[in-house]
Structure 1
């Protein structure tokens, strides 16, 4: 990917309905509320249990902006109609032979509106538009909702990575791996 001329600290991606923007301090409470969802905590190992305000603040003001500054990730708050509805990003920029990884989660009250697929599609297009030879995403094989999102976002399932996912309880999970290529 060619990031020359791109300031990841301020980069915004837009769709017809969504603004994928840098996190702001006023997102902390919305991130905290969303990450109380058992679904988010179940599938995203980085979401600690219990998830505290300090965890949310650490993500919003520390980890997410750090990835942008370091050029390793475009972490985004997903906004619809001026309200926070989820989080996503293009991660592992320049760090993985499979290309950058797309990820997402949507707050429980905002689900069912197609926001995850729209955001994942836009993030993949952003990375491919900057020269990524491919983008990928993974979803636990039991997470059928996330797999459906990947397909709606134009990703093709390539296979299953056995014991790829590590969960906080020490267990491992198989991951369905999806990709998008330029021209898909």
Structure 2
């Protein structure tokens, strides 16, 4: 596996990470409706290229029951349900494990009513720590240059802004956008 990570005896299909306030756990079938409802908020597809408009219940089921557990089984991603006080408040993950020369990528979205509580930063920080703890020499994330909220989350999660990737993001509606590139290194 490239990128320096050594998954060793870790079973990504069941891997769960706990923080002070969150449980970052595998998605369950009963999360489909919560993911579907959250992704009706226009801010999520506005910034998350993988979320289309319209976002259907079938899209949510494909993500929760297919894509997220598939990445875990393949060892290429640790996509997690972000849970606070027993409620799904978002999704986060470490993607491209062993697949990208600049390291694994962290991403996140938070439900509208759970925003502003620091959950995205807490999840992103924990997932970056997890990847670095497994030997990743660096972890990165990208945020649309117009998405100041996500860039604030990146800094709060301990990431450092490195620059701008011009025309890096490609949204389902055909838009392209520049992305701010952030990274965390083991010593950060």
Superposition TM-score, scaled by structure 1 size: 0.99
1:132-147 correspondence to structure 2 within 5 Å: 132-147=136-151
Equivalence for 1:9: 13
| RMSD of aligned Cα (Å) | 0.5
Equivalence for 2:24: 20
Q: Which runs of 5 or more residues in structure 2 are unaligned?
A: none
Q: Which runs of 5 or more residues in structure 1 are unaligned?
A: none
SS at match of 2:30: helix
SS at match of 2:101: coil
* Count of residue correspondences: 184
How many Å apart are 1:170 and its aligned residue? 1.5
SS at match of 1:41: helix
**Structure 1 stretches of 4+ moved >3 Å:** none
1:43-82 correspondence to structure 2 within 5 Å: 43-82=47-86
How many Å apart are 1:169 and its aligned residue? 2.0
How many Å apart are 1:156 and its aligned residue? 0.1
SS at match of 1:99: coil
Greater shift after overlay, 162-171 or 174-183? 162-171
Residues 1:121 and 2:125 are matched in the alignment: yes
Deviation track 1:8-65 (CA, whole Å, cap 9, x = no partner) reads: 0000011010000000000001000100010001011111111111000110000000
Q: Taking CA–CA contacts closer than 8 Å with sequence separation of 6 or more, which of the two structures ends up with the larger relative contact order?
A: 2
Residues 1:157 and 2:161 are matched in the alignment: yes
